[in-house]
């Protein structure tokens, strides 16, 4: 008898099925995920169930996680890079209460990582799955408000309106102003919203080792980027895609100059400093630096 | 404490949970019994069941107690609870003709077959405070009680829609964004029998009764195809759990508005209406903006600064600083 099995039995005994959803609901999610993997970047409608978490607070990612997770999995949940963000804590607690699985903050140890708006700085492997929560799966939303017309545009690969919007941006502002959630083309076919990850994270999706699954609970759509799939941001030949710039800033905690940094301001002096958004990456670097300093 | 604390998210949540309980109970009055809510907050219970899509007065009353009367939160709890219940059977189509009627009115036909039945209604009362209710005592209550004895998906979505959301859209149609002037052909409140087919021999078996409100509205017209182009009345249909007349009427108006073949108004667009009336989805998304957006905002700052730098250097394709 293993601890995870005992814990799982305990969870079931409290009146809820393993991983909360009933098995039919989980099967529905898995079937749609298989279709999503088979058609990279394509939004697949699914029968999105309500969870005891507010709609729009990660219920799509959570359904993916709940449908996939087994007693042997190790789970990591992050929100905007942080394991300790209150919503991440709450989502993680729901999964552990109903499954009894082990959790971790170390991105290297997790078999399933559920995330909102960040891809971990740590390189992920083919033994891991990254589940991203999706507020809005539709990259064309702001150029076409009608769902029927948007579906036709996807079906026909007609993304002219999106290109025009980027061009108008350049004409008006001199820059493409899309910040996070930068539109990408998957496998040279579907236009996809990579979720509001910063542009910094977009290159990590390109020909990755890891399976990326995207769940939009409120909008009832799933999509996927399988390993080794081309994921290319829309860009003009003479105005290449660029990630966020941090100049010569470094993380004030771990000293990193190669990670996405959040600015913070000193309450007294107003002085600006930066800290890694990925708390796991940052803490492991800071701990390693401490060990190096103490080494004889 | 910020709400992305480097450490302490768990602790903060635990404190928040205790505080919720504290604020619910700090007045020191006796705790509400679920049964009391179920009995005396009848319409709130009905609304929660309708929006929650689960006919269970007890669970609806418990949800209202737990959420301190927040109807959107109560609907969310009911739906989340339903997600854990395997669907073991589908009911037979409900026949509203079998309704055990509590209330039934028609604004179109004075002498409607079966007659008009006012039932429990505040419609023709003056909305003056009944200050006696502030002092209502057990004795009076007991004395009183002893004296008195692809349209299916659209309708389903509307039936689970938020009353206020349906009202806003239906009202817009009544005021000229679209043009449905509804005449209420039939408005009925009552109990309908619910049956499922027996898994062995397929005979319908009565499993219970549910309280529903049903509305049929009549509106002009459409030149019907099969009527030689002559104008005819068209019908909109609404049905929801519980006693909720406002919702059933608005649902029927929207059902009719969405049938408008060349509709341009928001209320006439099926896509527009159905995507925006769900209380759980709309409130969940509106409230998710409370979540941290540090990374996305940092990314926005990066873009704004890039444009500002470019404007300062005056090297955009056009005068970018306009």
Task: Give the mean model confidence (pLDDT) for residues B289-298.
Answer: 88
**pLDDT for position B5:** 39
For the domain covering A3-140+176-233, report its CATH number.
Answer: 3.40.50.11310
Task: Answer with the residue of higher pLDDT: B226 or B41.
Answer: B41
CA distance to A44, B155, B165, B237, per residue, from B151 (Å): 22, 6, 19, 10
Strand, coil or helix: B193: strand
CB of A77 closer than 8 Å to CB of A91: yes
Length of chain A: 296
**pLDDT for position A12:** 47
Q: Is A254 noted as a catalytic residue in this protein?
A: yes
**Longest distance between any two alpha carbons in chain A, whole Å:** 67
Instruction: Sort out which chain B residues have CB atoms less than 8 A from A200's CB and list them.
Output: 299
Chain B interface includes A254 (CB < 8 A): no
Q: Is A15 noted as a catalytic residue in this protein?
A: no
Distance CA A109, CA B321 (A): 49
Chain A interface includes B134 (CB < 8 A): no
Q: Is A276 noted as a catalytic residue in this protein?
A: yes
**Residue A237 buriedness (CB in 10 A; 0-12 / 13-18 / 19+):** exposed
**pLDDT for position B217:** 93
> Residue B3 above 80 pLDDT?
no
Distance CA B90, CA B88 (A): 7
**pLDDT for position B123:** 81
Residues B109-147 have pLDDT tens digits of 878 888 888 888 888 777 788 888 888 877 666 555 444
**pLDDT for position B1:** 30
Distance CA B226, CA A174 (A): 59
Confidence bin at B320 (pLDDT 50/70/90): very low
**Longest distance between any two alpha carbons in chain B, whole Å:** 85
Q: Which of A58, A60, A100, A282 is the catalytic position? A: A282
Six-digit token string for A262: 């959040």
Smallest Cα distance from A187 to chain B, Å: 26
Of residues B9, B285, B320, nearest to A86 (C-beta): B9
Instruction: Sort out which chain A residues have CB atoms less than 8 A from B12's CB and list them.
Output: 86
Would you tell me the crossing angle of helices B245-257 and B152-159 to the nearest 10 degrees? 150
Confidence bin at B315 (pLDDT 50/70/90): low
**pLDDT for position B142:** 54
Q: Phi/psi at A38 (nearest 5 deg)? A: -70, -25
Chain B interface includes A63 (CB < 8 A): no
What are the helix (H) ranges across B110-231? 138-147, 152-159, 163-174
**pLDDT for position B263:** 78
Residues B179-188 have pLDDT tens digits of 767 889 999 9
Distance CA B189, CA A24 (A): 35
Chain A interface includes B281 (CB < 8 A): yes
Task: Give the mean model confidence (pLDDT) for residues B183-211.
Answer: 94
Confidence bin at B151 (pLDDT 50/70/90): confident
**pLDDT for position B4:** 46
Q: Phi/psi at B183 (nearest 5 deg)? A: -110, 130
Name which of B62-71, B108-117, B287-296 the model is least confident about.
B108-117
Distance CA B11, CA A286 (A): 24
Q: Phi/psi at A168 (nearest 5 deg)? A: -65, -35
Q: Mean pLDDT, chain B, as a whole number?
A: 85
**pLDDT for position B113:** 82
CB of A171 closer than 8 Å to CB of B318: yes
* Residue boundaries of the structural domains of chain A: 3-140+176-233, 246-296
Distance CA A27, CA A276 (A): 38
Residue written as token pair 């159905």: B274
Six-digit token string for B210: 């549910």
Compute CA A269 distance to the chain's CA centroid, rounded to the nearest angstrom: 35
Confirm whether the ipTM is greater than 0.95: no
CB of A63 closer than 8 Å to CB of A33: no
Q: Which residue of B has its CA nearest to A92?
A: B10
pTM of the model: 0.82
Q: Is A251 noted as a catalytic residue in this protein?
A: yes
pLDDT cut 70: percent of chain B above it: 89
Q: Is A157 noted as a catalytic residue in this protein?
A: no
Q: Which of A60, A81, A100, A276 is the catalytic position? A: A276
> Residue B25 above 50 pLDDT?
yes
Distance CA B242, CA B42 (A): 9
CA distance to A251, B235, B257, B269, per residue, from B260 (Å): 59, 11, 5, 9
Task: Give the mean model confidence (pLDDT) for residues B60-76.
Answer: 94
Distance CA B24, CA B17 (A): 11
Chain B interface includes A47 (CB < 8 A): no
User: Which of B253, B243, B246 lies closest to B273, judged by CA?
Assistant: B253
Residues of chain A whose pLDDT is less than 50? 1, 12-13
Cβ contact (<8 Å) for A54 and B287?
Answer: yes
B80's CB contacts (< 8 A; 6+ apart) are A50, A51, A52, A53
Task: Give the mean model confidence (pLDDT) for residues B96-103.
Answer: 91
Of residues B275, B280, B299, nearest to A199 (C-beta): B299
């Amino acid at each position: 008898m293993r601890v995870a099995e005992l814990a799982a039995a305990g969870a079931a005994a409290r009146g809820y099925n393993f991983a909360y959803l009933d098995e039919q609901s989980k099967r529905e999610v898995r079937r749609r995920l298989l279709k999503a993997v088979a058609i990279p970047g394509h939004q697949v409608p699914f029968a999105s169930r309500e969870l005891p978490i507010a709609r729009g607070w990660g219920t799509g990612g959570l359904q993916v996680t709940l449908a996939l997770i087994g007693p042997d999995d190790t789970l990591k949940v992050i929100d905007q890079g942080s394991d300790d963000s209150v919503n991440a804590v709450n989502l993680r607690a729901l999964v552990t209460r109903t499954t009894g699985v082990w959790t971790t903050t170390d991105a290297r140890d997790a078999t399933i990582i559920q995330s909102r708006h960040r891809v971990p700085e740590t390189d992920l492997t083919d033994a891991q799955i990254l589940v991203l929560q999706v507020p809005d799966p539709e990259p064309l939303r702001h150029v076409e408000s009608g769902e029927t017309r948007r579906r036709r545009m996807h079906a026909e690969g007609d993304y002219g309106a999106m290109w025009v919007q980027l061009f108008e941006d350049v004409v008006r502002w001199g820059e493409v102003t899309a910040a996070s959630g930068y539109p990408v083309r998957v496998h040279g076919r579907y236009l996809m919203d990579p979720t509001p990850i910063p542009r910094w994270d977009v290159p990590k999706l390109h020909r990755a080792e890891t399976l990326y699954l995207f769940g939009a609970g409120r909008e009832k759509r799933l999509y996927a980027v399988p390993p080794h799939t081309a994921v290319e941001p829309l860009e003009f030949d003479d105005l290449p895609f660029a990630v966020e710039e941090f100049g010569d800033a470094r993380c004030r905690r771990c000293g990193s100059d190669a990670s996405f940094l959040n600015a913070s301001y000193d309450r007294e002096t107003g002085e600006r400093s930066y800290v890694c958004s990925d708390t796991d990456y940052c803490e492991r670097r800071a701990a390693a630096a401490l060990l190096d300093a103490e080494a004889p | 404490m910020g709400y992305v604390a480097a450490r302490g998210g768990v602790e903060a949540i635990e404190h928040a949970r205790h505080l919720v309980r504290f604020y619910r109970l700090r007045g020191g009055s006796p705790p509400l019994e679920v049964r009391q809510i179920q009995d005396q907050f009848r319409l709130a219970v009905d609304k929660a069941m309708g929006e929650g899509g689960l006919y269970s007065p007890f669970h609806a009353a418990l949800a209202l107690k737990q959420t301190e009367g927040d109807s959107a939160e109560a609907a969310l709890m009911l739906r989340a609870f339903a997600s854990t219940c395997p669907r073991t059977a589908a009911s037979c189509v409900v026949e509203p003709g079998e309704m055990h009627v509590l209330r039934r009115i028609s604004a179109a036909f004075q002498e409607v077959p079966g007659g008009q039945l006012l039932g429990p209604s505040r419609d023709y009362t003056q909305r003056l405070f009944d200050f006696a209710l502030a002092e209502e005592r057990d004795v009076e209550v007991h004395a009183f009680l002893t004296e008195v004895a692809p349209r299916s998906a659209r309708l389903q979505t509307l039936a689970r829609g938020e009353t206020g959301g349906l009202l806003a859209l239906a009202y817009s149609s009544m005021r000229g964004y679209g043009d449905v002037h509804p005449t209420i052909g039939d408005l009925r409140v009552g109990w309908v029998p619910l049956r499922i087919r027996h898994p062995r021999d397929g005979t319908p078996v009565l499993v219970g009764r549910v309280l529903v409100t049903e509305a049929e509205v009549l509106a002009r017209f459409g030149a019907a195809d099969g009527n030689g182009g002559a104008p005819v009345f068209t019908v909109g249909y609404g049905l929801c759990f519980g006693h909720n007349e406002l919702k059933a009427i608005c649902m029927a108006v929207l059902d009719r508005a969405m049938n408008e073949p060349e509709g341009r108004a928001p209320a006439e667009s099926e896509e527009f209406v159905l995507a925006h009336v769900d209380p759980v989805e709309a409130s969940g998304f509106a409230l998710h903006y409370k979540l941290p957006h540090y990374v996305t905002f940092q990314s926005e700052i990066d873009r704004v600064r890039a444009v500002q730098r470019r404007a300062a250097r005056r090297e955009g394709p056009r005068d970018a600083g306009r």
